[in-house]
A and B are shown apart, each in its own frame.
Chain A
Amino acid sequence: EAGVAQSPRYKIIEKRQSVAFWCNPISGHATLYWYQQILGQGPKLLIQFQNNGVVDDSQLPKDRFSAERLKGVDSTLKIQPAKLEDSAVYLCASSRGVQGAFFGQGTRLTVV
């Protein structure tokens, strides 16, 4: 079974620029998560989808972050405009119901 795919692996942008990340979950997993992991901290949930509907986006900075999951499969996360404090690893994960979650390799974003 193929794992969770994310791209790009690395991205360096200047502050105030925009950036987008892509995630393709494991086939058949209805739940998709985007987490932000700042260096030295545990991952923090940004947004959770169930199929193509948003379940939880309470910690998503909606003035600059947006995410969509069209057709209930792959998903994109966008930041516009980026700030220095957005430098982090962005992790995508998927799960089937309340079973274990599987994570992609992550995208390391550096904002300079």
Chain B
Amino acid sequence: KQEVTQIPAALSVPEGENLVLNCSFTDSAIYNLQWFRQDPGKGLTSLLLIQSSQREQTSGRLNASLDKSSGRSTLYIAASQPGDSATYLCAVRPVSGGNKLVFGAGTILRVKS
């Protein structure tokens, strides 16, 4: 059974810092991994999608890497801003298990101005 773990559970940083969020998964047989952002009381916004054959994806100040063999992904946020404050969730799409997404519990990020 695929399990996804995110560390840390919560993170508070001053504005301008670069930071890394971690995601690990137990079964390396995945189609892809997706990072989402969730603002309080809102739905999930897709940030980056990394296919299993890819090593990383970049969008603006965000960079996500994938090491499938070790079951790890990182989300790097450069020059953090107060507007980046949200919960960040990672999800994997296992090869076995019918095309569903399996989520971690998320990292709550607070960027202080």
Contact = CB atoms under 8 A, between A and B. Distances in A.
B105 to A, nearest CB: 5
Query: Chain B binding site: helix, strand, loop or mixed by DSSP?
Result: strand
Contacts of B60: none
Contacts of B97: 56
A56 B106 CA distance: 23
Contact of B31 (A4, A50, A98): A98
Given A42-B4, A42-B89, A45-B100, A105 B105 contact: no
Contacts, number: 66
Interface stretch (B14-22, B43-51, B62-70, B74-82): B43-51
A48 B98 CA distance: 9
Given A42-B106, A56-B98, A56-B100, A103 B49 contact: no
Interface in B17-33: 31-32
B83 interface: no
Q: A interface, how many residues as a size bin?
A: 20 to 34
A19 B55 CA distance: 44
B42 interface: yes
Interface residues of B, number: 25
Nearest to B101: A101
A40 B100 contact: no
Given A40-B105, A42-B89, A91-B43, A103 B36 contact: yes
Given A31-B99, A43-B101, 18 more contacts: A35-B103, A40-B105, A42-B89, A42-B106, A43-B103, A45-B101, A45-B102, A48-B99, A56-B98, A56-B100, A95-B99, A98-B31, A99-B49, A100-B46, A101-B34, A101-B91, A103-B43, A106-B42
Interface of A: 4, 6, 31, 33, 35, 40-45, 48, 50, 55-56, 89, 91, 93, 95, 97-106, 108
15 contacts: A4-B43, A40-B105, A42-B4, A42-B106, A43-B44, A43-B101, A43-B103, A45-B100, A48-B98, A48-B100, A56-B98, A98-B93, A98-B99, A99-B32, A101-B101
